[in-house]
Every structure is written in C-alpha cells, then in structure tokens.
Amino acid sequence: MAYTGRKLNEYIWIPKSKTDLKEYREFLKICDFIEKKNGFFSDKTIGHEMVSLRAIVDRDNSADSYIEKYKDKSIGDQSYVSNARMLIRILRWLGYISKDYDPEVSGKFYLTPYGRKFVQYRGPIKKEEVDMFRVAFARMRYFSQNDDILYRNYDFKQRPFFNLIRFLKLLEFASHYELALSALVLKNEEENEIKDKLNKIKECRKDKSIRWLMREYGLDCANKSTVTGIYDGPKVLLSFAKQMGLAEEIDLHGHENTEIYSMYKRMYKGSGQISEKSAKKITTITELGKKFVDNYEKNKLVWFDDLSSPTKQAAIIITCLKNGFVKTDKLSLIGITPTKLDGDIFIKTSERIFLCGDIDFDLYRDVPYEKREAVKTNGLLLGDNFLEEQIDASQKQIFIKDAEKNTCKECYYGKCAFYKDKIDSFGGSDRFASRVCPNDLLKFNQQGVLQIEEEECVGCGLCALNCPFGALFYNDRSKFHKKTSQKNGKMLDINKKEAESLEIEKQAEKTNTIDFDDIPKLVNEFIERINNPDKKWGKDKCYTYIRNAFRIFGVDAIYSGSGGMKTRSDVTILVPFKAVSEIKSPAEAPINLKAVRQAVDAAVQAETNLTMAIGLTTHSGAIDQEKKYFKTIGIGVLLLEIKFISLLVFLSPFIDFSPESLKRLIQNNHGYFGKKEFKKYLFGEIDILKSEIDRERLEKIIEETFI
C-alpha cells in the first residue's frame, strides 16, 4: 500500500476511489460476471462492462461512443479503466480480489471467497454486509500481498485503516492531516512508535504547525500534489468508517469562536498549500468505533516475509486457524520439524501444534499471490479442508461444558445453529446456506456460549434434531431451549476447542429429545405459529425451513429461489437426485394454479421430472391444473403441504428416513397429497425400511395431527 517508487515513499498512499459500500458490492457482482464469462477479469474488461451498464457515464456520450472516444488512448488515459483500477486496488487490499501468479501476464484478477460473499445480496446494504466489511477493513494490511511485486514496500508493517481508527480513539478528535501524519506514516504497530506519533500530534497542537509535522516525515507542504495525496487518504478511509458506524464528522462552520477552531487555524497558518480556511471539519470516534479498536487491538500480527520457512509455516498457521491444531506427526509431510517453528507463534506439544494467542492470518490477505500455490500444496498435506474459507471471529476464549449427558457443551461447531460444511457457501447459489434455525434465533456470545431467543421460537425442531448431544428440549409451549450443565466448565482457547468438542461428542450418547406422543402437538403449534396473522412467515423463513427439512433426510438441498439466482426453483435438491419446487409461504397464498405452472417451469428448466408445489393449504384449482399438466406433458407435480413435511421431520428420529425415502415420496406421488396418500406412503416406507415402529401408535399420531 506504500507509494513506492513515486513521490511519497514515507507515507501510505490511498487511491482516491469511490467509497460507497453498495457500489463496491455491485462492482464485485460485475467482476463475478466477467470472471465466469472469461475465467478472469482485468481493469479494462471491468471498465468496459461498467460503461455498457452505464455504471460509469461520460457526458453527451453513449456507452459505445464513450469507449470509442478513448479507443486510441493509452490504458492510463482511459478514464473508465482508471476508475475500475482504483476500485480493484481497494478491493485487493481488503482481500476481496487477488490474482494468480503469472509472470507473463500481470493484469488477470479473480474474486477470492471473501469477495464472492457479496454476490448474493440485492437492495440496500445489509447489516451482515457491513459486518463483513468491518472485518476486512480491520485486517487491511500494507500494500504488498495482492499488488504487483515491483510496487511492494516492506517498510510498512501495519494495518492503516485500523490504525486510523485507533489514533482517532487516542486523540478523541482529529483532522484529516493529523490522521494522515500519524496512522499513514506509521511503520509498525509497536507501542513505542505509536506513542511517538501520538506525542508529535500533541506537540503540534500545543505550539507547532502542520508544516513542522510534515517536515518530521520528509513531506513538503508547499507541494500541492503532496498535500492533496495526504488529505485524500484519510478522506477515503473515513468515508468507509462513517458508513460502518465507526466515526462521525463534526462541521466546524459556525463554531469559529471555539478553542478547537482556533487551534486548527493556528496549526494551518503558514503551512504552504494548507490554508487557514481548511479548518472546516474534524472527525470523532463512535462507541462502536471504540469497540472495534478494542476487539482488534489485542490480535497478534504475523507477516509472511518475517516467517522462517514462510510457505510451510503459513500453511501451518492457516490449518491451525481452521482446525484448532496440527498433528505433530504431519509436519514431516511438508519437510519441517517442531524445533524449526517460530516460538512466538506456536505452542508445541508431543502430539499437536497450536497457535500462541489471537492471530489474524489467511491465504488471501497475507500470502503473496506468487507464493500461494506453494502454501496450498503444503496446506493440503496438513488438512483436507485447507481450501475452505477461514471462519471469521474464531479467536475467542470459549466455554466448554463437561460431558454431562444431554447438556449443552457449547461446542466448537454449533451444529444446532449452523451447518459447518455450508459456512463458506456464499453467493448466488444458496441463501442463508449455513443457517439451521429459519428464524435465526440461535446466537453465540463473545464467550462462545449459545443463547436462544426462546420467545420468538416457532417450534420447528430443527435445532434439536441437529444437536449431536441431545441437549435441546421443548417446553410445555413447544418452544425449544437448551439444558445447561450444573457443573463448572473450563475455559479453553479456541485453538483447542474443536478437538475437545469432538472428544466430547465421541463420549456422549445422543438421546432423542422428541417424545413420540407429543408429535401432533408439536406439528400443530408450529403450523399455527408460522400462520399467525401478525407474524406470518415470509419467503426467507419458509424457504430456509423447507430446505433444512429436506437436509434432515440426508439430501443436499439449497434455497435457490431468491431474486437474482437465475433459477425458477425455490428450493432445489441437488444430491443424490435432482428435484425442484415452487413454494408459497404463509404470507403469500395457498398452493394455487400459478404455483403448479411455476413448478412445471422449474422442472423444465432443471431437466427433471421430480417437482413439487409446497404451501400451507391446497386450492382446488391447483389440483385440476396439475391433472391437466400430467395428462398433456407427462410432468406430475406433488402438491405437498407444509404440515406433512413437519410431521416427517418430527418422525425422523423414529423412522430411518433416507434420501431414497424422500425420492420415493416425490417420484411416486403427484397431484393432491392428503392424509390418505400420506398414510399409504408412510406405511410403505416402514415396510421398505423394515422399521419396528408400532403401526397402531403411528396411526394414532397421524389421526391426532390431522383432526
């Protein structure tokens, strides 16, 4: 990120780019589109696409004439290419865009897993997007790993955005120039250097000028280009900070008689291109900004080029961050011994290697692109999941309960709350991919302790059925909660947590927490709640539930029906067979004629005969329409009501349903599916699966459910 080989070698230069977070998200979508089309993208191809989409306009020119106007100019003089280049550069520093190492071609870029997360979003910027941006900006490092080799400046080993907010906290308020001449001239994050920069600002405020402060860092305030470059850096970064709620701007206009205004007017006096009239605005930190600093201040910084055997040790660090540890005997696979590991980074035991403290480090932000393949090669020898994206916010002290039977263990992976193998599934293929609870009511606090918003629970039961310890129970209102051990727990570092959790799971015997005789009550109260006039489930909750219900039966299903996903199927089963669906949420309508038509359209698009229309109830018009489609084009649509899905979900601990069971349901049934059809299917499955479940009890459960 340092302005190497140009004018400001002692200063981190930030390009004057657009700063609207929503524009960055839309820009990433354009990058994704071009990458899928060409296998990569460049500033030129992205610039052309932005012009064609009218995301960049030139007055009095159409898209074609705009490009034609600059056709014979050099790349550096094509304004739309320069615009794209600046956006790409910021996104490279955030780790959202990178490149493969190709000595012959330096302009081929691709989205990293971090960048692809944003492709799924539409409309106003969402809270979760802002959260992801905060993490990326906190970890934004000196400009080296994702930029061209010749432009790297290894003198700067610090996080410029984070330090900008850190100095804002230390100073309480600051001008752009003060932030530039503290955070953006900082070479490292050692306490003595931070203190030195802070004292210089305080000295300047006391009786010195900005001219003096600039001279301290070899900068000329009489040079307009230098002054503009210094001012623009904080301007760009603070724009991002304000959007993320970390900083606020104060307008000094109208406060000319204040002590602060007088101080800045004095500091700017006689400072060349910095006029006394520049005392217009200052910035302060918010409470959220203070928490942001506190959260990341303690993290240990590790720099790739400081590591001994960097491609090997980087692979070990990333593997430890993913899995909690590396087995000592695996080190020989990559040609390194425990004695060669850096002692200030690793804790070594006879069997395992752990990280020493909280560390932010990953493949896309910290490993130079030309070394990435070597690190990947080593990482894949250490762990099969090396190329899975690193789960953020994992370096915490976590509370793990003793393995008391049927109690919450506050486990590493939180299977009750999310699907661990789906945690990296972002983008346009599956919405809320890792979420188990359709209402998203299961949260983990900073200590990693599970908290359930019980009052909002609708009693779908998915969390309990996913818990490996049988630790989630329902109360007399069919709302789910956890049972906590009465024993004292022990504090474990996150690096040891997964291994500990796996050991507890091996020892624990999962007990089914669903009482067979309570199933009718559970099903009916669930249906009643999702159809509550004041809280009717919309698409997101309903589609997530249907997808997760299918997952209970062992299939790989995705929520594919959100806007922009380019598929007509709302929930799609992908493996081990393909089936599609049109879903009507309780907030929409019953299964109607339109739903049947859309289910057929989805089947035609996906080239499958397995299709469903799903909703709370079935309209008579849908039944007639389905018969016509089946008679004329041979595609039968299963009209499946949510109540039957819920009943199958709650029966799953008692009947060993499988993907084949679900396939038989869709394949062998079409048209109206009522209690009679359900019984025929269910008792047929009992025979196929040789289930020992009591038929009379099951008959009673079905009758009580459909009274």
DSSP string, 489-505: -EEEEHHHHHHHHHHHH
The alpha carbon of 184 is separated from its chain's Cα centroid by a whole number of angstroms, namely 28
Residue 454, domain member (yes or no): yes
Q: What is the pLDDT of residue 174?
A: 94
- The bridge status of strand 247-251 relative to strand 281-285 is antiparallel
Lowest model confidence (mean pLDDT) among 227-241, 403-417, 447-461:
403-417
- Please determine, for residue 173, whether its predicted confidence score (pLDDT) is greater than 90: yes
Q: Does a structural domain hold residue 290?
A: no
Mean pLDDT of the chain: 84
Position 643 in a domain:
yes
pTM for this prediction: 0.56
Say yes or no to pLDDT of 175 above 80. Answer: yes
Q: What is the Cα 357 distance to its own chain's centre?
A: 23
Least confident of 49-58, 314-323, 395-404: 395-404
Average pLDDT, integer, range 139-168: 80
**Structure tokens that stand for 287 in this block:** 């409470």
Q: How confident is the model at residue 229 (pLDDT cuts 50, 70, 90)?
A: confident
Q: Is the pLDDT of residue 125 over 60?
A: yes
CA end-to-end span of the chain, whole Å?
69
User: Do 21 and 113 sit in the same domain of this protein?
Assistant: yes
pLDDT of residue 63 exceeding 60? no
Query: Does position 59 have pLDDT exceeding 50, yes or no?
Result: no
- Cβ neighbour number for residue 393 with a 10 Å cutoff: 12
| Nearest one of 369, 323, 317, 486 to 103, comparing CA atoms | 369
663-686 pLDDT, tens per residue? 999 999 999 999 999 999 999 999
Assess whether 682 and 642 both reside in one domain: yes
Residue that is last in its domain, among 234, 258, 273: 273
- 672 and 524 fall within a common domain: yes
User: Residue 68: is its pLDDT beyond 90?
Assistant: no
373 and 320 inside one domain: yes
Q: Is residue 295 part of a domain?
A: no
Between 362-366, 403-407, 690-694, the lowest mean confidence (pLDDT) is in 403-407
The CATH number linked to 408 is 3.30.70.20
* Residue 335 belongs to a domain: yes
452 forms beta bridges with 442
Q: 196 and 142 in one domain? A: no
Residue 100, pLDDT score: 75
What whole-number distance in Å separates Cα of residue 337 and Cα of residue 353? 11
Span 34-61, mean pLDDT? 73
Q: Are residues 366 and 500 in the same domain?
A: no
Residue 134 and residue 126: Cα distance in Å, rounded? 13
More confident residue, 426 or 528: 528
Judged against a pLDDT cut of 50, whether residue 512 lies above it is answered with: yes
Q: What is the tens place of the pLDDT at every residue in 344-396? A: 899 888 888 998 878 888 888 889 888 999 999 999 999 777 776 554 433 33
pLDDT band at 163 (very low <50, low <70, confident <90, very high): very high
Tell me what pLDDT residue 106 has: 64
Q: Is 281 within a domain?
A: no
| Helix axes of 160-171 and 127-139: crossing angle, nearest 10 degrees | 90
Domain count, the chain: 5
Same domain, 341 and 482: no
Identity of residue 514: I
Average pLDDT over residues 297-324: 90
- Asked if residue 262 and residue 377 are part of one domain, the reply reads no
Alpha carbon distance 239, 234 (integer Å):
8
390 assigned to some structural domain: no
What are 181-205's pLDDT values in tens digits? 999 999 988 999 999 999 999 999 9
| pLDDT, mean of residues 608-613 | 95
Q: Are residues 490 and 530 in the same domain?
A: no
Residues 696 and 584 placed together within one structural domain of the fold: yes
Give the residue from 273, 296, 327 where a domain finishes: 273
- The domain of 250 spans 158-273
pLDDT tens per residue across span 619-668: 999 999 999 999 999 999 999 999 999 999 999 999 988 999 999 999 99
Averaged pLDDT for residues 117-130: 84
The C-alpha atoms of residue 237 and residue 577 are separated, in whole angstroms, by 49
pLDDT above 90 covers a percentage of the chain that reads 46
Q: CATH code at 553?
A: 3.40.91.30
- The answer to whether residues 410 and 448 belong to one domain is yes
Considering 115, 131, 154, which residue would you say is the last residue of a domain?
A: 154
- With respect to residue 287, please indicate whether it lies within any of the assigned structural domains: no
584 with 501, same domain? Answer: no
Distance, CA of 275 to CA of 594 (rounded, Å):
67
